[in-house]
Amino acid sequence: MQNYGFQACGVDGAYLAFDIKEEEVPEFVKSMRLLNIQGCNVTMPNKTAAAQNMDELSPAAELIGAVNTIVNRDGKLYGHITDGEGFVANLKDHGIGVEGKDIVIFGAGGAATAIQVQCALDGAESISIFNPKDPFFARAESTAEKLSKETPDCKVSVFDLADEAKLKEEVANADILVNATLAGMKPHEELTLIKDKSMFRPDLVVADVVYNPAETRMVKEAKEAGCKLAIGGKGMLLWQGAAAYKLYTGLEMPTAEYQKFQEENENK
Ligand code: NAD
């Protein structure tokens, strides 16, 4: 996608994959300065180590303590995280804003935290986080604590996913319901965190971050129940990449042309 954007916009660049181990991140970051690499993306498990080696962090990256995009400006390295931005941009592309909205989010891992922070920064009214009582639960509590200081106008609450009555109550009051867990992702296609389908209402927006499969069971059932919008994670993937592209080139990714190109070449 990045190489497509470079070609389409006449940028003299190449996007390459490098296999870097977590303990090698500081050395890689140094080589970005040495080789004058203009930017890069960082994926799991290197996002936290990368954040610890930046000269400056964006507000979202600072709050999350992770970066997925690095921009090199004259040897100074800026760390950003575009996962949350990609999620919000994808909703916007479907005509939905997060400002003033009540949002229920499943998950407390990397994707979920990025979405929670971005939605709070973008003016969501409230965020209710549901997660199993696994090791990620404490991260949800820590996110809620940080956001209560940084974005006090957004009310953030954390609940045990096992509390079905609370989940029903929160979803009934929500504008947007998001799954940002592994539920529904291959090989867990049969798993949905909405067991009671009567929770879906026509005015509820349902979004999944899972993009494999493109349509999860939760999204499929939300569509069948008549929710006004039910979308999978492919659009978020596109928009987080487009946001990274803009950060290192200053240009808009030709997303519509790229999507057409991708559809035409998907099965080749
Ligand atoms: P992670 O490992 O950081 O977090 C996993 C989360 O899932 C945790 O909150 C955990 O408690 C929860 N979980 C795991 N098993 C569960 C179960 N059986 N029931 C309920 N909750 C469960 O993972 P991540 O990096 O945040 O990725 C989560 C999902 O988001 C993956 O499917 C990934 O592909 C997707 N993702 C999509 C995009 C995109 O652009 N669309 C970007 C990043 C991640």
* Nearest partner of 64 among 154, 135, 140, 134, judged by Cα: 140
Q: Known catalytic residue: 47?
A: yes
**Over the stretch 63-82, which tens digit does the pLDDT of each residue have?**
999 999 999 999 999 999 99
Q: Per-residue pLDDT tens for 245-254?
A: 999 999 999 9
What is the reported pTM? 0.92
Task: Confirm or reject: Cβ of 105 under 6 Å from ligand 1.
Answer: no
Length of the chain equals 268
Q: Which of 30, 47, 149, 220 is catalytic?
A: 47
Ligand 1 pocket member 39 (CB < 6 A): no
How many whole angstroms from 210 Cα to the centroid of ligand 1? 8
Q: Model confidence over 147-178: pLDDT tens digits? A: 999 999 999 999 999 999 999 999 999 999 99
